[in-house]
Chain A
């Protein structure tokens, strides 16, 4: 790997920025028009999962339930053709699960109740609110941390990348209308964590090169940093995708949405650490002055990096840092 050929990432930055904007626009458009297909956790209502020994007949189940007078019944296969998920906007009826099961077992007796959930509407509303607040808090705290630890321009770049990733993952769920439940929300927040991981690794290298390499062109230094970290970025994304695919295929239906959200998030996150956060740094015109080591700089934000963390600048006399 000696003498890396520096890839000209930033040469394509305008085209790819446009591509990102188009993707964002599509996602936001879909979110505005179709919205998310919120799962029971967020909408409230009742949901019953039943399992049959032989393949089930969804039509038949639907007509049975409609015939018994249940309103707004949604019946669908869940994962495979023997499991069926029934959703309805039923009020708090403690016997609902048993009633439905009794109705269904009149028709076919190989049916078994697997799961029965009821969520009150106000609980769902609160979860939606908390989820939104959580995402905003996460973004805010992260921005502050990066601004303190790196520099304000990096914080803008990182948060732009995070917003980009989150919006596109949400857009994906809006376009496919896959159910958006609590575990998917957890996955979206994990996407923030993952994408941040990527962005920071790149930012760390950019900072190092701006301080160490004796050339002044911003685009060269950013291209150099991206080239140096490219191998690592791809390998980590690949290993993470490997486990997510395993999770999606073998983890069962309950966790499929989670694996899907994270997979999309990892793909977009890998792309955004290169083309969104670095792009923003270009646009904000990052300079060497922004990243001068603390003792030579007047920038108070750079002050509180402990010496043991900045050992990249020092020589190899510092062993056993861990």
Chain B
């Protein structure tokens, strides 16, 4: 009964602690207020000239700055204070003009040697950093309705063209399409055509008003696919819009089946943000001009331009789908579907224009930050609404087509999927509405951090004082374990790049209170063993061994609850669940292994008459 750990156990404990300290360190370095500059277009590169221009602008405005650095597409300049930040943003935006987006940011001051091992500070949730949180919901019902009516229009046109005589093609209230045909033969033909061309429908024979007919219902997979398209299309649009807002680290993320979360740290003007997020894009299909008369537009992804006719064949409102497919040689292409009216107009045009290139124009309403106006000494941003028109595709018409066609000649799969996304983004978007909105002012965020930290420190100090008073030397072990636990929670959270929220801080406080439980259990057992007349060494060993299964069960069940909390929770509650789970796991390590190691180091391997417990 020597109570000695083998050397490797000490080594493991020590290395975990060292890693914990290293990876939690970055949180101690306060971030510098900074401005981040980015080009409006993805192609605009930052270079030394931009740096010099920006620095000169700041010098002219008498704003101290340091540490300009280029990170890929963006330029970061550090400043001394938050007040400087606003002034600097205004000065730089005014000086550089509308081709650049200037955003407020916080630049981490993590030393290089820590960055080199991948250590980073935790990111702060909106309730701590201040900013806006939106939840948008895509109206699937209306979206499916519009998809169905374009399917119905499509069927009507084709049946007319194919001489399948029908009496009616209608969308019913239950989300199915009813097709009534002239007689039984036509029903057979209709059925064959539908089976070949619209396999996404399930067909059921019916009789209605004395006529043979078919009921078409979309398969569940196709509905799920359509919903996926609708959401990802809206997400793309939102992403583009958010970039216009000039936010340093925006988040646009799908949540659940039909919702999208948008988080904009640092943004306060929710009305402006909503205006920009809510705007729609559109598409226009036009032939390339053959007689030198028309309008010249630039390409989106290159510096070329092309002249298009002024007449518009169809607009994005007629586009029902755009997706990547592959031809028989495995080359990527984009399949486009149009609704009935769009299809017939496309048919008329393409029949007489074989061999002529057709262009697709992408039209976007953009708000461009023009500069700042001084109002009562404050810089108020002035936005200018601009319509931007760019060609996203120019391809030669190879044959007459109407409702559906493919765009080929794409270089790779990436290009194809980009084009498909843009087509969908410009197509009739599924309607979206704001279902949740939260704005937290920057002063409230700072206050939350201050109060949160304060309560962690005070709660921590109280618990440690109590443990020292109650368990003496073993109280010191518990105090060390508790401090190590705090460090490890922060380290693990930083490594996972988890977001710290106010309830997350509450979770840390709670963990501090509950983590001592394991030590209390062990120490009570040791006292009992001593009371039973065991030697101090045997009491330590017995105490740890016998308390273990209790601690394990108790923590595992709490962990189950924390995981459920994570699964059902949103935003802040998730933050709480994360810190709670991390805390449970780390506290098992510190409260059992670390205190045992300390006890072994202190008392192990020698004769101890009486344990100070």
Contact = CB atoms under 8 A, between A and B. Distances in A.
B367 interface: no
Given A92-B434, A134-B568, A242 B463 contact: yes
Contact of A258 (B506, B528, B555, B593): B506
A182 B573 contact: yes
A118 interface: yes
A115 B439 contact: yes
Contact of B549 (A118, A137, A241, A311): A311
Contacts of A243: 455, 459-460, 462-463, 509-510, 512-513
Contacts, number: 260
Interface stretch (B33-41, B226-234, B244-252, B446-454): B446-454
A319 interface: yes
Contacts of A241: 513
A200 B271 contact: no
A320 B3 CA distance: 9
Nearest to B550: A204
A115 B564 contact: no
A6 interface: no
Interface in A246-279: 246-247, 249-252, 254-255, 258-259, 262
A196 B557 contact: yes
A142 B503 contact: no
B454 A112 contact: no
Given A98-B271, A114-B444, A238-B466, A186 B538 contact: no
Nearest to A234: B520
Given A117-B439, A322-B596, A204 B553 contact: yes
Contacts of A137: 564, 568
Interface in B143-173: none
A95 interface: yes
Contacts of B271: 94-95, 98
Contact of B270 (A97, A130, A229, A246): A97
A239 B463 contact: yes
B564 A134 contact: yes
B548 A322 contact: yes
Contacts of A310: 549
B576 interface: yes
Contacts of B443: 51, 112, 114
Size bracket, chain A contacts:
35 or more
B510 A254 contact: no
A259 B506 contact: yes
Size bracket, chain B contacts:
35 or more
A321 B557 CA distance: 20
A322 B592 contact: yes
B438 A116 contact: yes
A207 B489 CA distance: 33
Given A243-B459, A250-B451, A316 B435 contact: no
Nearest to A202: B550
Nearest to B565: A189
Contact of B506 (A196, A232, A247): A247
B270 to A, nearest CB: 6
Interface string B262-296: 00000010110011000000000000000000000
Contact of A186 (B447, B455, B503): B503
Interface string A63-103: 00000000000000000000000000000101101100000
Interface in B512-560: 512-514, 516-517, 520-521, 524, 527-528, 531-532, 538, 541-542, 544-546, 548-550, 552-558, 560
Given A113-B441, A141-B560, A316-B545, A120 B436 contact: yes
A176 interface: no
A138 B592 CA distance: 27
A183 interface: yes
B510 A244 contact: yes
B488 to A, nearest CB: 16
Contacts of A200: 550, 553-554, 557
Contacts of B558: 193-194, 196-197
Interface in A182-204: 182-183, 185-186, 189-190, 192-194, 196-197, 200-201, 204
A242 B502 contact: no
25 contacts: A1-B527, A51-B444, A92-B433, A94-B270, A94-B437, A97-B439, A120-B137, A123-B135, A123-B436, A138-B560, A138-B564, A142-B561, A186-B577, A189-B561, A196-B561, A197-B557, A235-B470, A235-B520, A235-B524, A244-B509, A247-B459, A247-B509, A255-B502, A312-B549, A320-B5
Q: Which 6 A-B pairs have the closest CB atoms?
A: A243-B459, A120-B435, A134-B568, A246-B459, A243-B513, A240-B513
